[in-house]
């Protein structure tokens, strides 16, 4: 199984077995039934995994990403940024550019992602719901700047956030790590819709 398919399989498992009851249900979010081909197209083209009917009866678009307990000490959420070696020019700009989801639901679980250890997944160490539209608006307004990676951490300078572009070890793609505590410090509830475990 390829890395993407493995990650997708893990995320789907966490969605069904943890997120629906522990995140969505308390928020009174209900996943709408969408034809598989349509939701697959939304995922590929716009980074949308689910369409949710929220507590007010409104539709919101969701992308999910879940990690296993290996990442429990990390305080960031990540989005893929570029795939410079992709032969299709339209696919060089990755997730950060194409995503049209309203929110990113990001969680660190308490167990392991491997199929034979799924029984260890019982809850989240922490989870956060990021307002992606607001985050991208800050990028367009130059309040969020992407910089070459030096120490792989975000910085706040003069009330502006600087995030490094980090390349994966095989150099096939890069990603952005958005520090949740810094996001909260700068923009609070405008960008952090809900969270548990990242801060009090």
Burial (CB count <10 Å: 0-12, 13-18, 19+), residue 150: exposed
Would you state the pLDDT for residue 81? 87
Under 8 Å between Cβ of 46 and 100: yes
* Model pLDDT for residues 54-100, shown as the tens digit of each residue: 999 999 999 999 999 999 999 999 998 877 666 666 665 677 888 89
Q: 0.85 cut: is pTM over it?
A: yes
DSSP one-letter code for 59: E
Report the residue count for the chain.
200
Under 8 Å between Cβ of 40 and 81: no
Under 8 Å between Cβ of 194 and 27: yes
Does residue 1 have a pLDDT over 50? no
Token pair in block for residue 53: 């009917």
Would you state the pLDDT for residue 169? 78
Cα gap 80→144, rounded to integer Å: 16
* Model pLDDT for residues 129-158, shown as the tens digit of each residue: 999 999 999 999 999 999 998 888 999 999
* Model pLDDT for residues 97-136, shown as the tens digit of each residue: 888 999 999 999 999 999 999 999 999 999 999 999 999 9
Under 8 Å between Cβ of 153 and 164: yes
Cα gap 27→168, rounded to integer Å: 34
Coil, strand or helix at 82: strand
| Beta-bridge mates of residue 179 | 76
Q: Are strands 59-67 and 103-109 parallel, antiparallel or unpaired?
A: parallel
Element (H, E) at 139: helix 132-140
Does residue 3 have a pLDDT over 80? no
């Amino acid at each position: 199984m390829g890395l993407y398919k493995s990650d997708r399989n893990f995320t789907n498992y966490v969605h069904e077995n943890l997120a629906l009851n522990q995140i969505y249900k308390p928020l009174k979010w209900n996943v709408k039934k969408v034809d598989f081909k349509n939701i697959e197209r939304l995922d590929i083209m716009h980074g949308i995994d689910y369409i949710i009917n929220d507590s007010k009866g409104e539709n919101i678009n969701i992308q999910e990403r879940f990690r296993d307990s290996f990442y429990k000490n990390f305080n960031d959420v990540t989005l893929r940024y570029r795939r410079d070696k992709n032969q299709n020019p339209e696919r060089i700009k990755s997730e950060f550019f194409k995503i049209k989801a309203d929110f990113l639901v990001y969680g660190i679980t308490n167990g392991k992602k491997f199929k034979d250890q799924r029984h260890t997944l019982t809850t989240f160490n922490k989870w956060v719901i990021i307002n992606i539209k607001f985050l991208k608006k800050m990028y367009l307004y130059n309040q969020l700047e992407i910089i070459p990676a030096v120490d792989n951490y975000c910085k706040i300078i003069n009330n502006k956030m600087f995030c490094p572009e980090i390349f994966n070890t095989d150099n096939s793609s890069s990603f952005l790590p958005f520090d949740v505590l810094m996001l909260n410090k700068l923009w609070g509830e405008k960008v952090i819709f809900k969270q548990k475990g990242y801060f009090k």
